[in-house]
Amino acid sequence: GNSVTQMEGPVTLSEEAFLTINCTYTATGYPSLFWYVQYPGEGLQLLLKATKADDKGSNKGFEATYRKETTSFHLEKGSVQVSDSAVYFCAPPNRDDKIIFGKGTRLHILP
Amino acid sequence: DAGVTQSPTHLIKTRGQQVTLRCSPKSGHDTVSWYQQALGQGPQFIFQYYEEEERQRGNFPDRFSGHQFPNYSSELNVNALLLGDSALYLCASSSQGQETQYFGPGTRLLVL
C-alpha cells in the first residue's frame, strides 16, 4: 500500500520564519497527495492537495508541489504565524481510499 | 453546508462497558471512515462503510463494529472497553470514487 515518511519534529520556529516540513512517499501509481492539519484539541482539516505530478497545492499561505522524480511533497510557508502551531500530516490515500497516517510533525511557533 | 458532525464530543466510560459514537457525513457524501487517534499518534484506520456495508477494515479486533444507515450516517460501537481504547475517534466522509476525505471534530473517549 501507499505510505509516507515525514519528519516527526517537534519543529520549533520563531514567528515570520520560513517553514519546510519534508514528506516523501511510496505509492502505487500516481495518487493524489494531501496535507492535513490538526490544531490543538481539534479534528483533522484538509490543508491542501495535489492531484497529479508537478501540481502545486496551496492554502492559507502554505504550498506543496507533487514531485514525481523525488517522490516528495514537502510543505512550505514563507512566513509562519503563532496560529500555525499544530500537527501536520502528509498522506496519500490508498487505492481503497483508507488513509495510512504517520505520527505527523508537531510545529511550535514562538512569538 | 454542514460539514462532518460527530456526537458526543466527550465521553467517559469504565472498563467493560460499551459505547456508541455517531457521525453524520458532509452533505452529498456517501462513504464514512472511522479512525482512532491515541494521544501523540497519528490516526489509525478502523473501517469504512459504503452502501450500508463494511467495505474495508483495519487491524482492529471484533470488539469494534459499525453500522451505516440509509441516510449515510454511521455509528461506531466498541464493546468490552479497555483502558487502551481511550483515544480521539475521528469520522471522515467522502464521495465514492473521490479521494478527498473530510474529517469531523472527533469524539474524545476516556476509559477509566
User: pLDDT tens digits, residue range B40-85?
Assistant: 899 999 999 999 999 989 999 999 999 999 999 999 999 999 999 9
> For residue A61, is it left (φ>0), alpha (ψ between -120 and 50) or beta?
left
Nearest CA in chain B to A86: B40
Give CA A54 to chain center in angstroms. 16
Q: Are A64 and A34 in contact (CB under 8 A)?
A: no
Q: Return the bridge partners of B107, or none.
A: B89
Asked if the Cβ–Cβ distance from B101 to A93 is below 8 Å, we say yes
pLDDT per position as a tens digit, A18-29: 999 999 988 777
* pLDDT number for residue B1: 58
A87 to each of A17, A40, A43, B26, how far by Cα in Å?
Answer: 17, 8, 11, 23
Numbered residues of chain B with Cβ closer than 8 Å to any chain A Cβ:
6, 31, 33, 35, 40-45, 48, 55-56, 58, 88, 90, 92, 94, 99-106
* pLDDT number for residue A28: 74
Nearest CA in chain B to A10: B40
Lowest mean pLDDT among A79-83, A91-95, B13-17, B36-40: A91-95
Asked if the Cβ–Cβ distance from B42 to A102 is below 8 Å, we say yes
